[in-house]
Structure 1
Amino acid sequence: MATIKNGILGGLSGKVGPVVGVRLGDQYILRARPQRSKPFTKKELENQEKFGIVQKYLAPFIDLLKVGFKNYYTKTGGFRAAVSYTRKNAIMQGDSGFYIEPGRLKISGGDLQPAIDPQIAFHDDNLNIFWKTDSVNYLTRSDQLLVLLYDFENHYAVTKIFDSAYRSEGKATVEINPRLTGKKADLYIGFVAADRSSQSDSQYLGRFTL
């Protein structure tokens, strides 16, 4: 990132695209950014590959991750935190290369209580999610359910963020989009507080053919 000194007509300090602003005495000059002279190491190439896989995998539900990872895992939280968490904890290596392990993926994280004994049932074109409400009180009754139904092969996501059921209801219904018919999809849930200040650790409820 570059910094403009003394207004728009002043000097430039930092990087802008292919150039770098440098101060020499009382003058500011622009230089071409140095080009890498040596090839990337195997480890660097692996890290680049992992980053690309994670970015592509998470991209369809960025908005959900911004909420689910708010103030979680890193100082800034949000999507960058989700990328960092996934790279460190959910990416695995198999015979055909790197891949995301669905059971290790999170869509949210925090101190809120997760759903108690979550269960699912399919009815017509709907997916119904149930959980126990035994420990619901006035502090938690308005927590709202986060939902991700994700067709990982085609990178298509159905999400519920601020339009889902409350913890006190014990049930949420997700309409299955026709695009998911006959497809395999992973299901995740979590809770976000009514004041949006905190979240629960998400729960992976499995992979289903819809």
Structure 2
Amino acid sequence: MGLLPTGILGEINGSVGPVVTYLLNGQNVIRAKGKGSTKPPSLAQLANRQQMKVLTVFFKKATKFLKRGFGHLALGTKHNYHNLAVSANKSTAVLGEYPEQYIDYGKLTLSKGELAEAVHPAVERMENGLKFTWDCPPSLEFKFHTDQVMMLAYSPLLNRSVCIDSGAKRRAEQDVLPVSSDLLKEQLEVYISFVSDDRLQAADSIYLGTLSAI
């Protein structure tokens, strides 16, 4: 793989002859096209493909959260938020054996970083959504008080989610994630994290557990 700051003849994006070029974090990247194999995939390859598939199904419903949660770690590298999210979850959050692999929602990592994690976070159903609460203790450094909460609720049954990636300030100690009445009745997997004001840092996400269907 080579880097072309401005492309061969300016910026190029796409397939040209035997190479593919694309922009990655502001850099023009060029690589050779992959060669297809005529060999049948091995069991390990099949398992890897299924791991990617089950993660992708969920990741598509958590894109905003993942971009905030991993995007800052991709800055200045050849990676993107999706690559980093896969690396953080593939070996830990996907359980079972091929062809019956599945996500353990309690083991998912949706954001990583140096910000302080949510302190004593909790969630409860309300008539119009989910109320998230947390503590902002006096002992917490003041620089963390303006961090903004990130909230996510996901329904595995419906493959639907609701997310806010820049909610209330940490010092507010609560926020509400609006959820439609039909989704609110379903089993929901719930997560919380924080992102800095400048979006250049994030906290490690915390799994708040499963809210059973009602």
Shorter-chain TM-score tier: 0.7 to 0.9
**Contact 1:58/1:83, CA 8 A, preserved across alignment:** no
Match of 1:57 in 2: 58
- Secondary structure, aligned partner of 2:73: coil
Give the conservation status (yes or no) of the 8 Å contact 1:73–1:85: no
Q: State the SS of the aligned residue for 2:41.
A: coil
| Correspondence for 1:202 among 202, 205, 213 | 205
Q: Alpha-carbon deviations, 1:6-49, whole Å to 9, x = none?
A: 649xxxxxx938x626xxxxxxxxxx975413211111111111
- Shift in CA distance, 201/78, structure 1 to aligned 2, threshold 3 Å: same
SS in 2 for 1:187: strand
Q: In the alignment, which residue of structure 2 is the partner of 1:27?
A: none
CA distance in 2, matches of 1:198, 1:53: 27
- Contact kept in structure 1, 2:47 and 2:97, CA below 8 Å: no
Structure 2 residue ranges without an equivalent (≥5): 20-32
Q: Give the TM-score of the pair, scaled to structure 2.
A: 0.78
Query: Over aligned residue pairs, what C-alpha RMSD do you find?
Result: 3.0
Give unpaired runs (5+ residues) of structure 1: 9-14, 22-31
Structure 1 ranges of 4+ moved more than 6 A: none
Distance 1:36 1:94 in 2: 24
- 1:200 & 1:6 partners in 2: Cα distance? 40
Cα 1:126–1:49 change in 2 (3 A) is closer
Higher deviation after alignment, 164-173 or 126-135: 126-135
Structure with greater strand share of residues: 1
Asked if 1:16 is matched to 2:15, the reply is yes
2: CA distance, partners of 1:124 / 1:172: 14
Corresponding residue pairs, total:
193
Q: 2:156: which partner in 1?
A: 152
Partner of 1:117: 120
CA shift for structure 1 position 96: 7.0
